[in-house]
Amino acid sequence: MTPGRNVTMFLRAGLLLIICIWLPSLASAEFYRYKDENGVTRFTDNLAEVPEDQQPKSYKEPDDFLTPEQRAEKARNELLEDRKARETAQREEEKNRKEEKKSSLKGMKKEKAALDAEYAKIRQDEQALVKEKEKGLATSAAIKAQNEKMLRFKEKVAEYKEKQKAYTEKLDTFNSTKNK
């Protein structure tokens, strides 16, 4: 063996040793220990399998580095912010309720106006029927036509009464919510 050959073998062995040490460092593995629902200790390399309450806690909140006075100040500030947010939400909710009541009131007024107009039309129809009846009905065909008109009139009155009843119920509900 020649001295040059020894150096080459030494370099090869050193390079092989470095590769053997360096290669495993490319792959890292973390193993986690946890207890399952039966109390059995388990090991896994998948963090997703570990229950959340048993996962390692490496993240630290900025609170962890605060003094007790700073924590108290931060808690007061958060409490004030929460109160402001609640008050703002309540004001918005109250504003929305008022707007809803206004629009509901406008709708109730429109419905009342429509009912009043329908009532006026019914009164006109009634007066026309009474005048026609007072003129006298000479033929049986005229009497039949008058009876049909009376039946249609009675149907209109019944429909109007149903609408009036529904409106009254709506109005009572509106008034009860307004008083709250």
Mean of pLDDT over the chain: 84
Task: Read off the DSSP letter of residue 28.
Answer: -
Cα–Cα distances (Å) from 180 to 87, 140, 141, 175, 177, in that order, read: 20, 60, 59, 9, 5
pTM of the model: 0.44
In this prediction, residue 180 carries a pLDDT of 57
Task: Read off the DSSP letter of residue 137.
Answer: -
pLDDT digits (tens, 9 = 90+) for 89-129: 889 888 887 777 777 778 888 888 999 999 999 999 888 88
Question: How many Cα atoms within 13 Å fall on the side-chain side of residue 111?
Answer: 16
For residue 112, report the phi and psi dihedrals to the nearest 5 degrees: -65, -45
